[in-house]
Structure 1
Amino acid sequence: MEGNKDEALRCIAIAQKHRDAGNYGSARKFVQKSIGLFETPEAQKLLASINAAEAAGTAKGATASGTETSSSSSGARQRTAASSSSSNGTSSGIGGEKRDYTTEQVTVVKRVRACKVTEYYEILELSKTCSDGEVKKAYRKLALALHPDKNGAPGADEAFKMVSKAFQVLSDPQKRTIFDQSGGDPEDRSGGMPARSSAGFAGHPFSGGQGFEGEISPEDLFNMFFGGGAGFAGNGFGGGFGGGPVFTTNLGPGVFRTTQFGGNLPRRNQTAQAADSRSMLMQLMPIIILFAFSLLSNLSSFLTPTPVPDPHFAFTQTARYNVERVTPGLNVKYFVNPSDLNSHSVIGPELAKQKGLNQEKAGRAVAKFERKVELHWTEEMYTECKRGLDHRERRRDAEVGLFGIGTDWEKVRAIEKEVIPSCVEYERVRRR
């Protein structure tokens, strides 16, 4: 169906990345999915190239294996060499120890590292319509393959962190929604502070039903799946004497508050209780200040006389607004109703002294009114300019398409050179 074409093209792009990384199985899976959604010549060509590359790699591996067998000799030394040949190499770990790794592990690392850090679906080899169960299953598989204790290939640590980050985002419904809408890291939307879900991880299948908030390290995610304790030492979590987890809050230099979930509450001494009272007062202080400002502003509104509203005007001539005027500052043409202007309690007397609407020398009230007219006109030009730029950008993107295949670039350049009159007027005013 034509509606599946965009998803089919996206699957082709993912398949190309897997093919370039040497992961032919995943590449074939995505290109076959693309053909099932919407068959294209590009998908057929890509499938043929994947089959050819895999066949060439298999033949090369068979030749290398035959050479090794013919050149081997008998004895324990040859058996030891054959045993070590199953490992592709070693890498230095923490403290300088050597960590072995296999060719398959190197392939997994290269496939993950070939993805961008925010391509969470591609990292886990999932589609945008995947379920929570598929996200957990994909993470379990890749975490076992990439954990630094099990995979010593170069770059395995970074690949494991990328997989853990992808799981953190896609397993959280709120973060996943933000990512699907923006396409970027949802935690960057809070100005560099860690993003927090309103419900934390409460109800998470691996949280034990205990609510908490905050970031989880890749090691913590791995331990949640494969053991290693449910406590989060060093992250403000720990076990309490009452049988539930304990959350520690820093209230200031040398003052901490602990809260236990599920079980008896811990006893606190008088110093901690006094610190809690001061902390509560400090938390309520912004509300108290806001209430005081609101009270003062309401009081001042009673003492300040109600300003007289400005006369109505329009930038286009109509039956009601049929008298033309021009502002002296920006030469903005606008139209007013003469009866409304003459009957105004502030501007009307000034116009009467000036003997008509077209008097060149304006009074103080008239000058103030026309400055507001110029401000409204500037804002309107800015809005129209921005709307015109957005419309031109959408037309350009529609002309280019998803991958720029078959694009008429002359038409694209013509669209980019189109002049927007409101932008020209806005620039003229801004330079003055």
Structure 2
Amino acid sequence: MEGNKDEAIKCLSIAQKYRDAGNLPSARKFAQKSINLFSTSEAVKLLESIVAAEASAGAGPSTANGNTQASSSSTETHPSASGAKHRSTSSANGTAGGMGGEKREFTAEQVKVVKRVKACKVTEYYEILSIKKDCEEAEIKKAYRKLALALHPDKNGAPGADEAFKMVSKAFQVLSDPQKRAAYDQSGSDPESRFGGMSSRGPGFSTTPFGGGFDGEMSPEDLFNMFFGGGGMAMNGGFGGSPFGGPVFTASFGQGGFRTTRMRTNAGGAQQQAEGAQGRSLLMQLLPLLLLIGFTFLSAIPDLFSTSVPDPRYSFSPSSRFNVERQTGGMGIKYHVNGPEFNGHPHIAADIAGGNQRRGSALSQFEGQVERVYTNSLYGDCQRGVERRQRRRDAEVGVFGIGTDWEKVKAIETEKIESCEELKRLGVIKS
């Protein structure tokens, strides 16, 4: 996991020191610990070199008790989790040539594990660890420990065990980190790869004329440099290069606030000839931003200078608040308003006082809105009522009309829907 990375680097450094001092067992111990904390290619390579060195030392001409050994002709037994493993010279008896040409022991069960892992694609992390996609973190750790023990180079000499061990370590490294696991679940590819997840981004990923792709998230520096960088987004303090060798702008946002840097490169006569084109290019880069600011300002003008007064509130049902009943001048629809609020409205009060209900007046427009709301509500109720009646009719008819009570069907078809009848009375829909 990412939080163990620093400790893994320390263990790797200790393992390298032990390896250089010739203490191979301690070096192997700390290299393995580094991989368990946070797997890196350096740690895996170091562990392989230590295992190879140990194997070479074990195949030498003498042992601790002074007896001569010949790895190509002797037989040696070692305990393991699956029983006794035998070292011999024949690959048919369970040995394989390892790094440096030494013989490495393995069992049929270990060969089976190696084949299962290597049958998976390198990015099929869940299949590699043989776990479900919705499994918990504890299951991931348990599966990794089991496979790491079975595939460790010290314990498994089967062909391809080293590659399988690397695949298991990589799968654990990704799935044990919540952020990497989420990215992998979304893209299905290695989240640590430079191009990982690119194929799943779809339309969100675009290539810009500034020479890079981005997926919707940009820092303030990137945004500034995209517009002012003269053809490239400067990253980590660098300068985006202008295709004309002209001025280059970069921006930084830190404790000192917002800072910009302007840098001019020496391009001789080519720079002077390109200054006019550079100015036009910069204007074209800024044009979308300027248009956006302009539209935003223009859309706010009506709100800044508007002197309109909102229409009074109303209800189609009487209440203590809406205690004054009125009737629209067009369709004669009854509605209720709050007396003081309605009579205090400057435009409507003036129309009422002058008896002005002609088309276009404030009162006429207000009551037209009341009628539209009322009829739209009725139309929705009418449509739903017709659909309910049709469903009842279809249920009564059944399949092919066998055994149907047609009198009952006719009664359903002639049922009146109150909201539809009201719309007919108002003349909104035809009878």
Say yes or no: TM over 0.5: no
Higher-Rg member (1/2): 2
TM-score (norm 2): 0.32
